[in-house]
A and B are shown apart, each in its own frame.
Chain A
Amino acid sequence: MRATAADDHVHGEQWAETSHCRVSGVRRFGAFTALELVAPRIASDASPGQFVMVTVPGDGFLLRRPLSLFTVHGDRCGLLVEVRGAGSERLAGLEVGGTVDLAGPLGSAFPTQGATNALLVGGGIGCAPLQYLADALSATGASVTAAFGFRDFRAARAAGAFAIERLWVASEDGAVGRQGTVMDVLAELDTSPDTVVYACGPAAMIGAVQRWTLHEGLRGYASLEAHMACGTGSCHGCVVDTTRGKLRVCSEGPVFALDEVIP
């Protein structure tokens, strides 16, 4: 409504986390779409592991979609979208020059202090925040190895969206990388005792990584995904079970210590 546009603007400015962003790049990788957005404030405030709530453009959608920050370069933020339903399909269909509203950065970040040897373990769309993390760790001089698992050839094409020097890929149908799951990759890696594990992926993978790190005597962190409504701590819709009780993925997470997660 025209008469109120000025008010909206004033109040929008008051929110630390609301941004109206232009799409500056779109790359498609099988089932995944990498969006690059001009989002200077989010880019300057964010840390790896944090996420944004993205308004689905156009009519017909009520809730925003939580998406991890995939990359941050200069004033640009990247998001990786996997089409899972009508909302993500709309987001994946954005074109260069289009605009989208983001709220963020939200949630907790991956602790990186003191991590000199990092092992990044991703499954499917869960690989997204690990690119940003790899970039940040590499910038501190840490040694970064990544192991990613994908379901099938369409998902595995997403591997092409990543730029990580030591990246091992597994796909369940063997279309890309090694045939099998990311756990098969981990079984073949030599890890030093000071390795810090960073995992993001489906609950079954988080559980498997948790057991593996326990067995290997490694510490680590997991970023969890959940359906969200508010994304900002109000609705308690996104809770997960942890050793500290039910915690909100949006505000106490999405990053938790690996040993406190109950997948």
Chain B
Amino acid sequence: MTGRLELDQVTLAVELGPLRLEHPLVDASGTFDLLEYARRYRGDFFADFPYAAYVPKTVTAEARTGNPPPRITETAAGMINAIGLENPGIDAWVRGLSEWARLRQPVIVSVGGNSPDQYAAVVRTLEAHLAAAPQGSAPRIEGYELNVSCPNVTGGLQIGADPAATAAVVGTCRAETRRFLLAKLTPNVSDVTVAARAAVEAGADGLSLVNTFKAMVLDRQTLRPFLGNRTGGLCGPAIKPIALRMVAEVAQALPGVPLVGMGGVVSGLDALEFIACGASAVGVGAANFTGFEAPFRILAELRAELAARGLASPAAARGLALGA
């Protein structure tokens, strides 16, 4: 490692497969609603959008009302949620696209479902919409993230835990689009590289990992499960060491496959650690709930962390934790 660099000597741009990103940070699906943020920003939020790509909340073929409340609570060094993929369904979703057509950054659409056909229906509907959409009426949709790992719906987690089912979802969607295709993996397996390999062999261009850990919180008075769904997904700093290990395992098993690493990133150092474990981009999830300024802060910290180590770019840090 060389000496310290000035902040302006660090170039943050990265490549995620065919995507050229201004920097490595993306939002983790379901934690950052562009329009809600824009409504609360004094300036032009589209001009100052903090992430290098936007991953909206997962959309499914049909509308879903999600799980019964309560859906969320804080845990030691983290939080648990069981939202249940509440969303308006792909038909209503595409009608809303024009509202954020001004976004400069690429969009990676998170897709959910219970079967390969349901995933493919979302991709097909969106592709048809984009093919017919007038210039400027939709944001730059450059990829998909197949969410085969939501722990809070019937089917979602099971797909991600089953390599054959994962491959079936990826393969069916691959046939519907030429855009960049990510599969988002579940950590609720004994060997994350198995589903990772299955997804890539079925046509995924890259992988996002990890989704949340299936977990449970009890009501301290009644000792009954606190969440309306009984179980939920654990995220936040508590899961970061496990997520780092899983990203490193996949990076070593599948060298060259673009990875979006995530799990408990709340600081620039956290993001750098995922890059060192082999991630090209880094997802920020629960940290979005700590304050509106979180992504701006984490990005500034990442630049400083790179500079402090004499690393001129994220690429220079990528994989430093791997190997002997």
Query: Could you tell me which A residues sit within 8 Å of B by CB distance?
Result: 1, 3-4, 7-8, 11-18, 55, 60-64, 87, 101, 103, 226-241, 245-246, 251
Instruction: Establish whether residues B40 and A15, one from each chain, have CB atoms under 8 Å apart when the complex forms.
Output: yes
Q: Taking the nearest CB of chain B, how far is it from the CB of A245, in angstroms?
A: 7
* A227-B73, A246-B66 known; A8+B293 contact, CB < 8 A: yes
Instruction: Establish whether residues B66 and A3, one from each chain, have CB atoms under 8 Å apart when the complex forms.
Output: no
If over half of B's interface residues share one DSSP class (helix, strand or loop), that class is named, otherwise mixed; here it is: mixed
* A15-B293, A55-B290, A235-B31 known; A61+B40 contact, CB < 8 A: no
Count contacts between A and B, CB distance < 8 Å. Answer: 131
Which B residues between 271 and 307 are near A, CB-CB below 8 angstroms?
Answer: 286, 288-293, 296-297, 300-301, 303-304, 307
Instruction: Establish whether residues A17 and B292, one from each chain, have CB atoms under 8 Å apart when the complex forms.
Output: yes
Q: Taking the nearest CB of chain B, how far is it from the CB of A82, in angstroms?
A: 15
Query: Could you tell me which B residues sit within 8 Å of A by CB distance?
Result: 7, 30-33, 36-37, 40-43, 48, 57, 65-66, 68-74, 77-79, 81, 83, 86, 236-237, 266, 268, 286, 288-293, 296-297, 300-301, 303-304, 307
Residues in B whose Cβ lies below 8 Å from that of A12: 293
Residues in B whose Cβ lies below 8 Å from that of A4: 297, 300-301, 303-304
Partner of A234, one of B65, B70, B288, B303: B288
Instruction: Establish whether residues A62 and B7, one from each chain, have CB atoms under 8 Å apart when the complex forms.
Output: no
Select the residue from A4, A16, A240, A241 with max chain B CB neighbours within 10 A.
A4
Instruction: Establish whether residues B292 and A232, one from each chain, have CB atoms under 8 Å apart when the complex forms.
Output: yes
Instruction: Establish whether residues B236 and A62, one from each chain, have CB atoms under 8 Å apart when the complex forms.
Output: yes
Residues in B whose Cβ lies below 8 Å from that of A62: 74, 77-79, 236-237, 266, 286, 289-290
User: A14 vs B42: C-alpha distance in the bound complex, in angstroms?
Assistant: 5
User: A8 vs B293: C-alpha distance in the bound complex, in angstroms?
Assistant: 7
Instruction: Establish whether residues B289 and A18, one from each chain, have CB atoms under 8 Å apart when the complex forms.
Output: no
User: A63 vs B48: C-alpha distance in the bound complex, in angstroms?
Assistant: 24
User: A228 vs B268: C-alpha distance in the bound complex, in angstroms?
Assistant: 25
Residues in A whose Cβ lies below 8 Å from that of B31: 230, 234-235
Q: Taking the nearest CB of chain A, how far is it from the CB of B228, in angstroms?
A: 10
Enumerate 15 A-B pairs (CB-CB under 8 Å) in ascending A order. Answer: A1-B304, A8-B293, A8-B300, A16-B40, A62-B290, A64-B289, A227-B70, A227-B73, A229-B72, A236-B71, A236-B86, A238-B72, A239-B86, A246-B66, A246-B69
Residues in A whose Cβ lies below 8 Å from that of B69: 226, 238-241, 246
Residue of B at shortest CB range from A53?
B291
Residues in A whose Cβ lies below 8 Å from that of B73: 227
User: A101 vs B81: C-alpha distance in the bound complex, in angstroms?
Assistant: 24
Instruction: Establish whether residues B74 and A61, one from each chain, have CB atoms under 8 Å apart when the complex forms.
Output: yes
User: A234 vs B72: C-alpha distance in the bound complex, in angstroms?
Assistant: 13
Q: Taking the nearest CB of chain B, how far is it from the CB of A51, in angstroms?
A: 14
Residues in B whose Cβ lies below 8 Å from that of A8: 293, 296-297, 300
Instruction: Establish whether residues A235 and B291, one from each chain, have CB atoms under 8 Å apart when the complex forms.
Output: no
Q: Taking the nearest CB of chain B, how far is it from the CB of A258, in angstroms?
A: 19
Q: Taking the nearest CB of chain A, how far is it from the CB of B231, in angstroms?
A: 15
Residues in B whose Cβ lies below 8 Å from that of A11: 48, 293, 296-297
Q: Taking the nearest CB of chain B, how far is it from the CB of A233, in angstroms?
A: 4
Instruction: Establish whether residues A18 and B293, one from each chain, have CB atoms under 8 Å apart when the complex forms.
Output: yes
Given A17-B40, A246-B66, 13 other A-B residues pairs in contact with their CB atoms under 8 A: A3-B307, A4-B300, A8-B293, A11-B297, A12-B293, A15-B40, A62-B237, A226-B69, A227-B72, A231-B289, A234-B288, A235-B30, A239-B71
